[in-house]
Copies of this chain bind each other. A is one copy, B any other.
Amino acid sequence: MTSFKSFLPILGWAPSYTRSDAQSDLVAAMIVTIMLVPQSLAYAMLAGLPPQVGLYASILPLIAYTVFGTSRALAVGPVAVVSLMTAAAVGQVAAPGTPDYLTATITLAFLSGLILVAMSLLRLGFLANFLSHPVISGFITASGLLIAASQAKHLLGIRAEGDTLPELLAELLRGIGGTNPYTLAIGLAATGFLLWTRKALKPLLLARGLRPRLADLIAKAGPVAAIILSIAAVIGLDLTEKGVKIVGAIPAGLPPFALPSFDLGLWQHLLLPAVLISLVGFVESVSVAQTLAAKRRQRIVPNQELTALGASNIASALSGGYPVTGGFARSVVNFDAGAETPLAGAFTAVGILAATVFLTPLFQFLPQAVLAATIIVAVLSLVDLAAIRRTWAYSKADFAAMAATILTVLLVGVEAGITAGVSLSLVLFLWRTSRPHMAIVGQVPGTEHFRNIARHNVITDPTILSIRVDESLYFANARALEDAIYDHVADQPRLKHVVLMCPAVNAIDASALESLESIAHRLASAGIGFHLSEVKGPVMDALQRSDFMAHFTGQIFLSQYEAIATLGVATGPEATGPDSSALVAPHPGARQRVPMSSPAAEQGA
């Protein structure tokens, strides 16, 4: 039963569903429906699809998520970035407006659904972790700019096709002479109105004494008002005669039953885009869901989210839709409007279905410029230039990955951009770990703690070199460790012992093990002892599995303090016996080590 419930989370919350839950969910659903209808039409246009496809993608997928999802507030459906990625992917294999384009889109959604379900079954959700924050942030910012540029043509009423920012800008410049003034006027008016409702309307209403929830609802209905007003203007002023492009006839009725293509060649072409769409969609969706869940002390189950998003995409494909995921803006609205359970999503689906069946004739006269304005206002809020500055200040490596993502998205394309960002962030990570930070450490006076001699005022012993390596030891950095130790040893003629302090060594691979063996061997032939300290449990276990311990003549100390206490006593001028065995309690008198500058005799045990 438990595993059944974890596969069908609806079984967990549905039995305790209350009338009060239903009221909250219904209100939230109404608000989200009002927001989702214009968005669905707009994003379908962005994806190069007929407007009704956006509505289809907002019905069955929501029902699927209600059954399988673990977030109580996530609202799935078409989103801007995934719509752009869909256009880029399907544009490679078919021309927009053709039946082939529609088939390819459905196939893409189906493939993406299969990939998400497969990732869930194989527990591959962790793959999404390889999309770092700077890469995601850069990707969304660049996608936002690219989307805004791709929609600018609708504001001008001209044609401008292109997959990259330079192409789009060049086309816009070439066509700008043919701008339709009526289209431009409607487009700019809609953009201004939408920005105003987004930024200024809610504070204004609140200042006039409206209840916050009502003020929010009115502000969120901005796009609906823009749509109604612009439809009225088109009909009233007969703007189609003046060259203002409208959405045109939208077939009313239930979503169709659709089947994806099973052409293997097409699958091959769409495989990589489907993987990227799945990953990007999953990352966006899970981060929204987690943020909202945390606010109410709820938890989501990322692996089950993969199943839920997979089911949503398969549902989208089978009802003639296109790839969907959890959207940021609509989920926040759903949450703020008080959605208590995933049933709010199902109610929203009913709302959209009603709009699809009854309202589509009204949308016929909707100007494309108004949809474009809706998209532009939505995506520009995704552009986060402050994040670029913040990342630059914090880490040049993270910034490089972010910059590579942004530039590649803008100059080459969305898929290339995300691939470049992920590759570069991995290469930089490997590069960093291949040049580990190493520090010569000494004892912090009055404690058993050892820190970098270059940063802290510490006590050292000229016969003992305590070196701390700040990285797991593996093939890429094993030689760097050898070189560093040999260099330090060459500088210190009085040296009797080298202690490699390993609190930061989380693993030692076979290559590094050979390096340790050759370090021990070389130091031994120079009469210097080589020891380890603070070796972690899992690393110690691995060493004991190898024949390293059989050859190793040095000692392994539980702590650096113990190492210094033991070795310092034995090698100091007053030393009377052989090295005391490792892992004994430190000699109390050995606590205060001598400073580096004074001879070892001065304060020794």
Residues on A lying within 8 angstroms of B by beta carbon are: 126, 129-135, 294, 299, 390-391, 393-395, 397-398, 425-426, 429-430, 432-437, 439, 444, 446-449, 451-452, 454-455, 470-472, 474-480, 486, 503-507, 509-511, 513-514, 518, 522, 536-538, 542, 545-547, 558-559, 561, 585-586
Contact = CB atoms under 8 A, between A and B. Distances in A.
A449 B558 contact: yes
Nearest to A446: B585
A129 B504 contact: no
The 9 A-B pairs at the shortest CB distance, nearest first, are namely: A132-B475, A133-B511, A503-B503, A398-B510, A470-B506, A448-B448, A504-B504, A394-B546, A449-B559
Given A432-B507, A503-B503, A475 B547 contact: no
Contacts of A480: 126, 129
A470 B391 contact: no
A427 to B, nearest CB: 10
22 contacts: A126-B434, A126-B476, A129-B480, A390-B546, A394-B513, A395-B509, A398-B511, A426-B430, A429-B509, A437-B536, A439-B537, A444-B558, A446-B585, A447-B448, A447-B559, A447-B586, A449-B559, A451-B537, A451-B558, A470-B538, A504-B504, A504-B506
Contacts of A454: 537
A511 B432 contact: no
Q: This chain: how many copies in the complex?
A: 2
A476 B401 CA distance: 14
A471 B434 contact: no
Contacts of A546: 390, 393-394
B394 A437 contact: no
Contacts of A538: 437, 470
A294 B489 CA distance: 14
Contacts of A476: 126, 129-130, 132, 429
A507 B398 CA distance: 12
Contact of A449 (B393, B433, B448, B478): B448
B478 A129 contact: yes
B437 A542 contact: no
B436 A475 contact: no
A577 to B, nearest CB: 23
A394 to B, nearest CB: 4
A318 B433 CA distance: 40
